[in-house]
Amino acid sequence: MSLLESLMRHVAADGLEASHLAQIIEFASDHEQPFDRSIRDAHLTGSAVVVSADGRSVLFVYHRRLDCWLQPGGHGDAGETMGEEVALREAREETGISGLALHPTAPRPLDVDIHRIPARGKEPAHDHLDLRYLVVAPSGAEPDPCNVETRGARWFGWDDIDEVKPDLPLRRLLAKAREWVQEPQG
């Protein structure tokens, strides 16, 4: 399935996500390489909500540049055309966990979000049009995080999520992920 097909099939959970989805579809339709980081105002990114094999916890990385706990994710590399491949690569790089896999039955993407990245150095402020995927870690996986981009990684139980101070779109993503890993899906 193509990127646009997967976006057109996505069902938004609320008005904010519906608005972001419409903007992302328009952007992806207007740009031949929507993950291209050289598109200075905005570009697609991919991120992963990584859950433990037993579905009881979520892995967050402490992002150096943004100084907060986030799901792993980031920019596409040259040649990447699908959010799934960006999200999985970024999750593996940032957590150091091999064997991460997309959840076999969850929607792809699970969630979409647009968020502003502040200016830094010569890089102007820009939007990340983030495609978010549910990723499952192998049993017993322990992070060995990338120290270049992160200040660490930690598993959080579902009841401890408030420690990461999630914004509303991250809360929505986590609620969706929790449903998929803790409830049988048809």
Quick check: 123 pLDDT over 50? yes
Quick check: 91 pLDDT over 90? yes
Q: Is the separation of the CB atoms in 115 and 127 below 8 Å? A: yes
User: Of 13-17, 24-28, 71-75, which range is least confident?
Assistant: 71-75
**Cα end-to-end span (Å), the chain:** 21
53 CB contacts (<8 Å, ≥6 apart)?
A: 136, 137, 138, 139, 140, 141
- The number of residues making up the chain comes to 186
Average pLDDT, the chain: 92
pLDDT band at residue 63 under the 50/70/90 scheme: confident
CATH 3.40.30.10 is the classification of domain 3-181? no
pLDDT at 135: 98
In angstroms, rounded to a whole number, what is the distance separating the alpha carbons of residues 169 and 4? 22
Quick check: 86 pLDDT over 60? yes
- Tell me: the pLDDT tens digits for 6-23? 999 999 999 999 999 999
Average pLDDT over residues 113-140: 94
What Cα–Cα distance (Å) separates residue 76 from each residue in 23, 33, 44, 57, 92? 19, 10, 8, 26, 13
Count of CB atoms within 10 A of residue 159's CB?
A: 9
**Tokens 């979409």, residue located:** 112
151 CB contacts (<8 Å, ≥6 apart)?
A: 62, 63, 64
Average pLDDT over residues 125-133: 96
Q: Write phi, then psi, for 112 (nearest 5 degrees).
A: -135, 150
Average pLDDT over residues 50-63: 95
**Tokens 């150096």, residue located:** 64
Please give the helix or strand (H or E) that residue 5 lies within, else none.
Answer: helix 3-9
